[in-house]
Structure 1
Amino acid sequence: MGSDLARGSAIFLLLAAMLVGFGTAEPAFLGLANAMSVLQAVSVTAILATGITVTLAVGGFDLSIGAVAAASVMVASYAMVVWHQPVWTTVPIVFAFGVVVGLLNAALILWLRVPDLLATLAVNFLLTGLQLIPTAGRSIATGLILPDGTAATGRFDPAFLAIGRGRLFGILPVPVVLMIVVALALHVLTEHTRIGRLLFATGGNAVAARLAGAPTGRLKALAYLVSGGLAALGGIAVAARVGRGDVSSGASLLLDAVAAALIGFAVLNRRRPNVFGAVVGAIFVGFLLNGLTMLNAPYYTQDFVKGAVLVGALALTFGFARRA
Structure 2
Amino acid sequence: MSEGTAEIPEQIRQANHRISPQELVRRGAVFLLLLALVIVFSFAQPAFININNLMSILQAVSVVAIIGAGVTVTLAIGGFDLSVGAVAASSVMAASYAMIVWNLNVYETVPLVLAFGASVGLANALLIVRLRVPDLLATLSTMFLLTGLQLIPTAGRSISVGLILPDGTKATGKVDPAFLTIGRSSLFGTVPFPVILMLVVALVLFVLTERTRLGRLLYATGGNEAATRLAGANITRLKTFAYVLSGVLASLGGIIVAARVGRGDVSSGASLLMDSVAASLIGFAVLGLRRPNVLGTTIGAVFVGVLLNGLTMLNAPYYTQDFIKGAVLVGALALTYGIGRSKAFG
Quickly name the TM-score band, shorter chain normalised.
over 0.9
Is 2:108 aligned against 1:84? no
Question: Quick check: 1:237 aligned with 2:234?
Answer: no
Deviations 1:100-158 (A, max 9, x none): 00000000001100000100000000000000000000000011110111011211101
Partner of 2:16: none
Q: Does 1:282 align with 2:304?
A: no
- The alignment status of 1:17 with 2:17, answered yes or no, reads no
Match of 1:188 among 196, 202, 207: 207
**1:310 corresponds to 2:313:** no
Aligned match of 2:115: 96
Deviation, structure 1 residue 313:
2.1
Q: Offset at 1:169?
A: 1.3
SS in 2 for 1:117: helix
- Alignment equivalent of 1:140, drawn from 159, 175, 187: 159
Distance of 1:176 and 1:263 partners within structure 2: 20
> Residue 58 of structure 1 is aligned with which of 49, 68, 77?
77
Structure 2 CA distance for aligned equivalents of residues 82 and 236 of structure 1 = 17
Q: Give the equivalent residue in structure 2 for 1:212.
A: 231
Distance in 1 between residues matched to 2:336 and 2:87, nearest whole Å: 30
Q: Which digits, 9 at most, give the CA deviation of each residue in 1:54-107, with x for residues without a partner? A: 000000000000000000000000000000000000000000100000000000
Instruction: Tell me, yes or no, if the aligned pair for 1:82 and 1:153 is still in contact at 8 Å.
Output: yes
Among 163, 176, 198, the alignment partner of 1:157 is 176
The 3-state SS of whatever aligns with 2:156 is coil
Helix, strand or coil for the counterpart of 1:98? helix
Give 1:175's aligned amino acid. Answer: P
Cα shift readout 1:155-181 (whole Å, capped 9, x = no counterpart): 110100000000011111010000000
Counterpart contact for 1:259–1:306, Cα < 8 Å: no
By how many angstroms is 1:212 displaced? 0.7
Q: Distance in 2 between matches of 1:8 and 1:121?
A: 33
Question: Aligned partners of 1:112, 1:177: CA distance in 2, in Å?
Answer: 38
- Deviation string for 1:1-38 (max 9, x for gaps)? 32122111111111112111111111110000000111
Residue 252 in 1 paired to residue 267 in 2? no
Partner amino acid, structure 2, of 1:319: G
SS state at 1:139 partner: coil
Question: What's the RMSD between the two structures over aligned residues?
Answer: 0.8
DSSP-derived class of the 2:79 partner: coil
**What is the aligned partner in structure 1 of residue 54 from structure 2?**
35
2:242 is the alignment partner of 1:223: yes
- The offset of 1:312, in angstroms, is 1.5
Residue 140 (structure 2) aligned to one of 121, 140, 145 = 121
TM-score by length of 1: 0.99
Cα pair 1:80 1:154 within 8 Å, conserved = yes
Q: Which residue of 2 aligns with 1:69?
A: 88
Q: 2: CA distance between counterparts of 1:10 and 1:52?
A: 22
Which whole-Å CA distance do the structure 2 matches of 1:321 and 1:129 have between them?
44
Give the percent of matched residue pairs that are identical in Structure 1 and Structure 2. Answer: 70
CA distance in 2, matches of 1:317, 1:126: 37
SS in 2 for 1:62: coil
Distance 1:4 1:158 in 2: 51
In structure 2, distance between residues paired with 1:256 and 1:93: 26
> 1:48·1:234 contact (CA, 8 Å) conserved in 2?
yes
SS, match of residue 132 in structure 1:
coil
Cα distance in 1 for partners of 2:149, 2:333 equals 35
Residues 220-253 of structure 1: per-residue CA shift (max 9 Å, x gap): 1000011000001000000000100000000000
The one-letter code sitting in structure 1 at the alignment partner of 2:91 is S
Gaps of 5+ in 1: none
Counterpart CA distance in 2 for 1:160 and 1:275 is 27
Matched to 1:171, the amino acid is: T
Provide the TM-score with structure 2 as the length reference.
0.92
1:256-302 deviations in whole A, cap 9, x for unaligned? 00000000100000000000000001101101111111111111111
Aligned twin of 1:293:
312
- Tell me, in whole angstroms, the C-alpha distance in 2 between the residues paired with 1:230 and 1:309: 27
Aligned residues: 324
